[in-house]
Amino acid sequence: MNLMKKTFYSISTLAMLLSSNVYALKVDTLYCDGCNNAQMKSIALNSANNSNARYLVLNTTGAVSQEILITQSDDSGNSDEEIDEESSGAKITVYTDADKYELQVINQALVEFRDINNAIKAKTQLPIELKRDFAFKSIFNAMESSRTERDFHSVLQKLLNTDEFNEIRRRAENQIRLIETDAGVSFKAFSLAVGKLIQDSTWLVNFTDGTSVPIKIKFQRLASKISVVITVDFTQASDKDGKRVPQSKYTVGGYSASGDTIYIHKIGQYFKNMGIRVGYDSKAGYKCVPNGISCKTDESCKISYQCGT
């Protein structure tokens, strides 16, 4: 026979929260996007798994938080409403305090993080344009070897940590300080989790020769600071014509490109470093300059030339 439990929701006073035994429990943080109050309570109940628990539930897009305490109870206590849920467990009372000062501080932080995410989203619509004095002029330079890939990542990491994202980091770090100062010790868990509130994003990096590569950017908290962690997705690198850059000698077949002497030589060197044979057509000679490269399925490529009169 199915047993029924009654779940009671109560908007309690701060005094009631402080008098509750469950208030001494560690605060766990739960996240949702666009959830309403009832859904926030449901998320907490599902996470509690029929045991005493204390949660800080964050509606990240709605910039609203609730502290929810869940206790096993044999009576309704001071509940405002009742709903029936099918369960084999005991009655559960859910206390919330949406007007608590600490939660107001956290809600203000959620508004700021929502604005930060909107700013990041707007920025991702525009690529990161590398300047002419940047150490790497082309994706083909950056991908010449595993060493150059590491060097490119390191140089780009330093660029983003010093120039591109100072304002975003400063705003996030200000919220950390406010939370730790005003929200109290019991909400330190939230301040430690702020990195989760800044959405990961993908940006396009453009080199001066027109080649490009996407990077994934993640903000992480280290002590009281926010740092930018980047991952370069070389598998999605493109040449100046938007063609995917071959990653190995097994995928080079059918690739072709055209451009000036410097551009074609960069591609040729990149292929040579992968063990691909790069030859020259019969036009190579006096007053002739490279203007293209084409690759066959037999792991070989040939540079073509344009000759003047």
pLDDT tens for residues 181-236? 776 644 555 655 666 788 889 999 999 999 999 999 888 877 667 888 889 999 99
- Same domain? For 230 and 109 the reply is yes
For residue 199, give both structure tokens: 């959405």
- pLDDT tens per residue across span 251-282: 999 999 999 999 999 999 999 999 999 998 76
Statement to judge: residues 148 and 198 lie in one domain:
yes
- Among 55, 84, 99, residue at a domain's last position: 99
End-to-end CA distance of the chain: 97
Residue 249 inside a domain? The answer is no
- pLDDT attached to residue 53: 81
Residues 125 and 88 in one domain: no
Q: How many structural domains is the chain composed of? A: 3
**Co-location of 227 and 123 in the same domain:** yes
| Domain match, 182 and 88 both | no
- Inside any domain, residue 69: yes
pLDDT at 284 over 80: no
Within a domain: 244: no
Please check whether residues 51 and 163 belong to one and the same domain. Answer: no
In a domain? residue 216: yes
One domain, residues 231 and 266: no
pTM of the model: 0.74
Share of the chain above pLDDT 70, in %: 75
Q: pLDDT class for 125, splitting at 50, 70, 90?
A: confident
| 119 and 219 both lie in a single domain | yes
**Which pLDDT value is given to residue 188?**
56
Does residue 242 fall inside a structural domain? no
Which of 78, 99, 120 delimits the end of a domain? 99
Q: Say if residue 182 is in the same domain as residue 260.
A: no
The per-residue pLDDT for 282 is: 67
Q: How confident is the model over 77-96, as pLDDT tens digits?
A: 444 333 334 343 445 566 66
Please check whether residue 247 lies inside any domain of the structure: no
Indicate whether 198 and 226 sit together in one domain. Answer: yes
Q: Which of 79, 99, 119 is the last residue of a domain?
A: 99
DSSP assignment of the chain equals ---EEEEEEEE--HHHHHH-GGGGSPPEEEEESS--HHHHHHHHHHHHTSS-EEEEEEETTTTEEEEEEEEE-SS-TT-SEEEEEE-SS--EEEEE-TT-HHHHHHHHHHHHHHHHHHHHHHHHTS-EE--TTSS--SHHHHTSSHHHHHHHHHHHHHHIIIIISHHHHHHHHHHHHHHHHHS-GGGHHHHHTGGGGS--EEEEEEPTTS-EEEEEEEEEEETTEEEEEEEE-GGG-B-TTSPBPP-STTS-TT-EEE--HHHHHHHHHHHHHTT-EEEE-TT-STTEEEEEEEE-TTSEEEEEEEE--
Is there a domain that residue 153 lies in? yes
Q: Domain of 51?
A: 4-99
Indicate whether 8 belongs to any domain. yes
Shared-domain flag, residues 79 and 136: no
> Do β-strands 53-59 and 4-11 pair in parallel, antiparallel, or remain unpaired?
unpaired
Co-location of 230 and 118 in the same domain: yes
